[in-house]
């Protein structure tokens, strides 16, 4: 007698099916927690209005017990991927305790850090409980440029010391750089450092205003054409964009303003315990010091999906929409409205389109 066989799914089809189910059920699959807005650097491009070690009383951060409680809540709600960021998260004296608890709860953890505070205790932690990714920012290839951006003398030496410690202890990490006018001429050298370290490397040119409305960082942007040419000079990145465009080309623009994962499967929690759809969205918000995660997720954060596009929104019929990094939250920071697009992102999308379509 022949038994019934269940057809196996490819990994790609399996994960597509799972992701579709997660979206249908609005499972908070992927989150970011901002442990602190404090930082030991004073980077020119930082989007936080507070990037120093002293914060105002009203900006007081969650204590250890509250973070542990929130981590339990998001784990029980279905969170699988969690990004720990800041500020500089390693400044928290309880970082090891919080990180360990996240790992115990079974989440896949990524840590964003500037790499200047790598101690023996942190090395032991990441050896015993490795993060999925340890992503470290590199702002220049020389002390002069690196410290011009970070504003802290001696920070380049601490960065290189931290990188050496990680390499010597065989702890995997990746490097990323924010492309700006100050380090544009060192980009090749920065990328070479990543190659020498055996680290994955990515470049981000999308500098945006500070969350308090300060437009100063925008002045550091690189010409969009030059930024895209640098980005797509990497064949791997170019092919990823080509595949993405091929897959998404012809997609029908939804009347819903937000078509990303924000508030659908993604969330962000700031250092004061405010639950938001993403780091750039300041509304809707929910205070986790006054209520639980699931209440905020289902009754408040879901409100982002009720936002609609204006009838005259110029992005609606644009064939390059999937290539620009379309983000209404980004638009609002830059233009004051979610329905007024960023000219900078628009130009980047046009240049990506030209390269992908082999136009000159």
Beta strands in 96-158 (DSSP E): 108-113, 133-137
Give the model's pLDDT for residue 360. 44
Bigger pLDDT: 49 or 212? 212
| pLDDT at residue 248 is higher than 90 | no
High-pLDDT (> 70) share of the chain, %: 92
- What mean pLDDT is predicted for residues 289-299? 97
Least confident piece of the model among 47-61, 116-130, 169-183, 202-216:
47-61
Whole-angstrom distance, CA of residue 236 vs CA of residue 1: 50
Residue 11 has a pLDDT of 64
Is 60 exceeded by the pLDDT of residue 5? no
Q: Quote the CA–CA distance of 9 and 352 in Å, as a whole number.
A: 33
Q: With contact defined as beta carbons under 8 Å apart, do 287 and 235 qualify? A: no
Average pLDDT over the chain reads 90
| pLDDT for res 49 | 72
Mean pLDDT of the region 29-43: 96
- pLDDT, residue 311, reads 84
DSSP string of 197-214, one letter each residue: HT-EEEEE------TTS-
| Residue 254: band (very low, low, confident or very high) from pLDDT cuts 50, 70, 90 | confident
Model confidence pLDDT, tens digit, residues 81-90: 999 999 999 9
pLDDT tens, residue by residue, 302-325: 999 889 888 888 888 888 888 998
For 15-19, the CB contacts below 8 A with 24+ separation are 19/265
pLDDT at 234 over 60: yes
Q: For 341-354, what is the mean pLDDT?
A: 94
For residues 100-128, give the mean pLDDT: 98
Could you tell me the pTM of the whole model? 0.91
pLDDT recorded at residue 283: 86
pLDDT tens column, 175-222: 999 999 999 999 999 999 999 999 999 999 989 899 888 999 999 999
Quickly state the pLDDT bin for 12 (edges 50, 70, 90): low
Taken in order of first residue, the domains within the chain and their CATH numbers are 27-222+258-307 (3.20.20.70), 235-253+310-360 (no CATH)
Across the range 217-240, mean pLDDT stands at: 94
pLDDT for 352 beyond 90: yes
pLDDT surpasses 70 at 3: no
């Amino acid at each position: 007698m022949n038994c019934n066989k269940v057809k196996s799914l490819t990994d790609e089809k399996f994960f597509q099916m799972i992701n579709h189910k997660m979206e249908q059920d609005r499972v908070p699959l992927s989150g970011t927690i901002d442990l602190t807005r404090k930082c030991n650097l004073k980077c020119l491009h930082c989007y936080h209005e507070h990037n120093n070690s002293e914060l105002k009383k009203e900006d007081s951060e969650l204590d250890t017990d509250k973070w542990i409680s929130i981590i339990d809540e998001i784990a029980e709600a279905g969170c699988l991927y969690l990004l720990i960021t800041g500020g500089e998260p390693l400044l928290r004296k309880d970082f090891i305790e919080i990180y360990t608890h996240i790992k115990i709860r079974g989440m896949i953890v990524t840590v964003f850090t500037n790499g200047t505070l790598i101690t023996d205790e942190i090395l032991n932690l990441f050896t015993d409980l490795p993060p999925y990714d340890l992503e470290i920012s590199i702002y220049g290839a020389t002390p002069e440029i690196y410290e011009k951006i970070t504003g802290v003398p001696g920070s380049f030496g601490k960065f290189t010391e931290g990188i050496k410690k990680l390499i010597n202890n065989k702890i995997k990490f990746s490097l990323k750089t924010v492309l700006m006018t100050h380090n544009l001429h060192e980009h090749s050298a920065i990328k070479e450092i990543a190659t020498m370290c055996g680290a994955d490397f990515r470049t981000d040119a999308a500098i945006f205003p500070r969350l308090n409305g300060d437009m100063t960082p925008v002045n550091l942007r690189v010409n969009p054409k030059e930024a895209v040419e640098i980005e797509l000079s990497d064949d791997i990145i170019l092919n990823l964009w080509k595949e993405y465009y091929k897959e998404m080309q012809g997609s029908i623009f939804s009347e819903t303003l937000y078509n990303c994962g924000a508030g659908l499967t993604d969330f962000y929690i700031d250092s004061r315990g405010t639950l938001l759809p993403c780091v750039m969205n300041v509304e809707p918000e929910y205070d986790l010091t006054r209520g639980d995660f699931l209440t905020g997720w289902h009754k408040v954060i879901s409100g982002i999906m009720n936002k609609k596009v204006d009838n005259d929104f110029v992005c609606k019929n644009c064939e390059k929409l999937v290539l620009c990094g379309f983000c209404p939250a980004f638009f609002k920071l830059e233009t004051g409205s979610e329905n007024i697009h960023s000219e900078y992102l628009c130009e980047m999308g046009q240049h990506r389109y030209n390269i992908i379509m082999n136009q000159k």
